[in-house]
A = this chain, B = another copy of it.
Amino acid sequence: MSLIVVGSMAFDALETPFGKSDKIVGGAATYIGWSASNFTRPIHQISVVGGDFPQSELDALSARGVNVEGVQVKKDEKTFFWSGRYHMDMNTRDTLDTQLNVLANFDPIVPDSYQGCEFLMLGNLMPGVQMRVIEQLKVRPKLIAMDTMNFWMETAMEDLEKVIAKVDLLFVNDSEARQLSGEFSLVKAARSIMKMGLKYLVIKKGEHGALLFHEDKVFFAPALPLEVVFDPTGAGDTFAGGFIGHIAKTKDLSFENMKTAIIVGSAMASFCVEKFGTQRLKEISKADIDERIQQFVQLVNFDIELV
């Protein structure tokens, strides 16, 4: 059970139709770490923060079994900052401010103690940074999964294509899948994206669930219908964290087990959106997670006898 997680650790300032957050801790690797550590430990984190990042947050992750040896702390610089405002549908948002700070020149270093890990989760980051992590690994992991975003498709497509060709599984959302493929139909988009060198593709549709593609197979998992989506920030990362955490725990790369991983990821994401930032992820227990997964079973389970 050894998993490396790479991604940003950040400050976010969020506005939603339901409220406004202070500057709170976020970032892809933060959410992935909190989520995946429910299923597998230790997690080997690779990221970079500034001197302004609270030590207590790193300590809290350490206490969860997240090894932060690979998190560079640049005392004299500032942590990556993102500010955004969500629209009423909670699926779309405007970026209000982005300050790259320490991310601008991030050169990830894989500690020796991380070598030999079986699973690698590349959270959303500059494709070049994702690639430099892959290049440093002496033994190729059994599964490399990556997340990305539309911004890199617009500004670093060549680098992005190179990384995609090196990984097994890609997470994108529906609009990114359409952008990456130039296809409107998600089925056609998936087929086109898979040809970039992937074994698996996950298309996230926010409140409308997620699709898993592999060879000629497709699996769909819904999102749990929720009364309140308080803050969708980090939901995609939390989903990926639950997914890769389950895979690292079970070490089973069958399509059947990937389906389970999608459900686990969906369950984790459904917690994430219930409060601002990582707050809800810090509260939940294994019993809460099991109960939530059971709700997914209830939600989609049916038994058809064709007569």
Contact = CB atoms under 8 A, between A and B. Distances in A.
A24 interface: no
A228 B257 CA distance: 29
Interface stretch (A54-62, A161-169, A203-211): A203-211
A51 interface: no
Interface stretch (A28-36, A93-101, A181-189): A181-189
Interface string A211-241: 1000001111110011111000000000000
B299 A304 contact: no
A283 B138 CA distance: 58
Given A256-B303, A300-B219, A300-B300, A225 B186 contact: yes
B300 A227 contact: no
Nearest to A208: B208
A112 B306 CA distance: 34
A260 B217 CA distance: 23
A226 B218 CA distance: 11
A293 interface: yes
Contacts of A205: 208
A218 B222 CA distance: 12
A226 B185 contact: yes
Contact of A300 (B184, B220, B306): B220
Contact of A188 (B209, B222, B227, B263): B227
Given A185-B227, A188-B227, A208-B208, A299 B219 contact: yes
Contact of A302 (B188, B263, B306): B263
A40 B184 CA distance: 37
Q: How many copies of this kind of chain does the complex include?
A: 2
A63 interface: no
Interface string A267-297: 0000000000000000000000010011001
Interface in A78-136: 88
B263 A290 contact: no
Contact of A227 (B187, B217, B260): B187
A251 interface: no
A140 interface: no
A259 interface: yes
- Between A218, A263, A306, the greatest number of chain B beta carbons within 10 A of the residue's beta carbon is seen for A306
A218 B295 CA distance: 10
A302 B222 contact: no
A44 B208 CA distance: 36
Nearest to A222: B220
Contact of A299 (B185, B188, B218): B218
A62 to B, nearest CB: 26
28 contacts: A185-B227, A185-B228, A186-B225, A187-B225, A187-B226, A187-B227, A205-B208, A208-B208, A208-B209, A209-B209, A209-B222, A219-B302, A220-B222, A220-B225, A220-B300, A221-B302, A256-B303, A259-B302, A260-B302, A260-B303, A260-B304, A263-B302, A290-B306, A293-B304, A293-B306, A294-B306, A297-B304, A300-B300
